[in-house]
Amino acid sequence: MMVDQGYLKYEDTIAKHWPVFAKNGKGSITVEQLMRHEAGLARFSKPIPLEWLTSENIKKNKVGEIIENEKIEIPEGYTRVYHAVNRDWISNELFRRVEPQGRTFGEYLDQELCGKIL
């Protein structure tokens, strides 16, 4: 939706919209690579504490800080490693930086989709 609405492009680097993401050699990772599971961030070196997963704490950049400090990890011989859950955390952080109101995925879905259905 954010691409369709013109807030970002698949070929944009994530760092274009989230400059601190570029730490530890991540500056050239594109939105497209993230969506194709080619960002090299399939797992995080630290767990995300459950209490950090509220909208309030996400907006305080609690999850973002973990992601910002991660390093790319791509096993030799691979270009794609499935980012089962981490892609969602990374894309949520990117989403809230380009979404005009700074909302999280959850807030956006609740306010713009699910909340309007009920």
Cβ distance 108 to 99 under 8 Å? yes
In three-state secondary structure terms, 13 is: strand
Q: For 29-74, how does the pLDDT look when each residue is reduced to its tens digit (9 = 90+)?
A: 999 999 999 999 988 999 999 999 999 999 999 999 999 999 998 8
Which amino acid, residue 89? Answer: W
In three-state secondary structure terms, 53 is: helix
Q: For 1-21, how does the pLDDT look when each residue is reduced to its tens digit (9 = 90+)?
A: 899 999 999 999 999 999 999
- Global pTM? 0.90
> Could you give the CA distance from residue 4 to residue 37 in angstroms, rounded to a whole number?
20
What pLDDT shows up at residue 118? 55
> Could you give the CA distance from residue 30 to residue 38 in angstroms, rounded to a whole number?
9
What's the full length of the chain, in residues? 118
Q: Cα dihedral angle (29, 77, 86, 4), rounded to 10 degrees?
A: 50
Residue 118, both tokens: 């009920």
Residue 28, both tokens: 């050239």
> Could you give the CA distance from residue 28 to residue 25 in angstroms, rounded to a whole number?
8
